[in-house]
Amino acid sequence: MKSVVSAAGIDELNPVQTNAMPSIMAGKNVLIAAPTGSGKTEAAMIPVLTSYLKSRSEGI
C-alpha cells in the first residue's frame, strides 16, 4: 500500500483514511462519512489499487 500512497503523492494518511483502509482491505462493506476534501476517495481507491497491483501476474 505504501507504494500506491507514494505514487499518489500522499506524504501521510489522515485519520479518515487510516481508520477506513483496514476494513476495506479485509473486504468489508464500509460507509465513510466525512466532510468534503477529507480523503474519502483515496481511502476507498488506495486499497483497491493495492489489491490490483498485488494480484496481477507478470506477462509471459
Cβ(50)–Cβ(22) under 8 Å?
no
Integer Cα distance of 18 and 16 in angstroms: 6
Q: How many whole angstroms separate alpha carbon 45 and alpha carbon 8?
A: 11
Q: What is the pLDDT of residue 57?
A: 66
**CA dist list (Å): 4 to 18, 33, 34, 57:** 14, 23, 22, 17
Q: What is the DSSP letter of 34?
A: -
pLDDT (0 to 100) of residue 28:
94
Question: In the chain, which stretches have pLDDT less than 50?
Answer: none
At residue 19, the 3 state secondary structure works out as helix
Per-residue pLDDT tens over the stretch 12-25: 888 999 999 999 99
